[in-house]
Amino acid sequence: MDNAKFGFSAFAEQWNGRLAMMGFVIGLGTELLTGQGILSQVGLG
């Protein structure tokens, strides 16, 4: 783990943004397919 980067960096921010966009799209897609909201899907609604 000597080469591991911690904290804010361009690389980390790019991956964070990409994963957040994927999560949003997947959540929206499952909402459209199931008819349930995102909170209902995870048991909070």
Q: Report yes or no: 5 and 11 within 8 Å, Cβ to Cβ.
A: yes
Domain-located, residue 29: yes
Alpha-carbon torsion, ordered 34, 35, 40, 41, to 10 deg:
20
Q: Residue 32 belongs to what domain range?
A: 8-40
> How far apart (Å, rounded) are the C-alpha atoms in residues 34 and 9?
37
pLDDT, tens digit, 9 for 90 and up, residues 9-36: 888 899 999 999 999 999 999 999 999 9
Q: 2 in a domain, yes or no?
A: no
Residue 3 within a domain = no
Position 1 confidence tier, pLDDT thresholds 50, 70, 90: very low
Please give the tally of structural domains in the chain. Answer: 1
Output the pTM of the full model: 0.67
Q: Considering the domain boundaries, does residue 15 fall inside one? A: yes
The token pair at 25 is: 């799209």
The CA distance from 45 to 41, in Å, is: 8
In a domain, 19, yes or no: yes
In a domain, 45, yes or no: no
